[in-house]
Structure 1
């Protein structure tokens, strides 16, 4: 699956989509492929303050467990709660129904430090993926 060009990407394989002063966050198709089908997802509570690069949750599959990292600074304003009971949409639609959090950006926070789709693809190629 191609990485959508309208998103920004963290080197830790999360994606971010700016919507006003809120950022929608999920994990990339590459991350999902590495996990195989997710079996468990832990997300932070609404109101949790996050720092860029700070751990915000855990995703597990039969194959592995991975920490999830916030691509931006802000406060969780919404969680995709159905995923905590059934994380299959993360596998089926990583860039759509598989979104995990909505984060209200901290004052002055931006997405400028994140990678474009092209830069993220280059990172994957450099890592041998």
Structure 2
């Protein structure tokens, strides 16, 4: 028994973690697929231009492609840590630009806040940590 109660059996903890990995990847994939399918890359690029980002459309397309390729890599367990860290960085910038100014709550105590972004970022950092390549001894 651990300090805070019984520990989860390792096999159950592993299954829960895999469910988290798949769910996070699918949420990000849906986000990018929706933006691409609905023709929202250009408005995203225009918004980035309005914030002073050079080549706003290029950045918007790069983010969208990352939201399509990165989750596929995470789902396939290929370059998982790097894809997760990349998405954590993208979400952190989005949180600073969009959600932080709106406060903490997504709904209820506010609107469009950063609580969901924090959850995704922490989840992605956990995925990156678990899948970080082990160093091989010489």
Do both share a fold (TM > 0.5)? no
TM-score relative to the length of structure 1 = 0.28
TM-score relative to the length of structure 2 = 0.27
Larger helix fraction of residues: 2
Larger strand fraction of residues: 1
Structure having greater relative contact order (Cα 8 Å, sep ≥ 6): 1
Q: Which has the larger radius of gyration?
A: 2
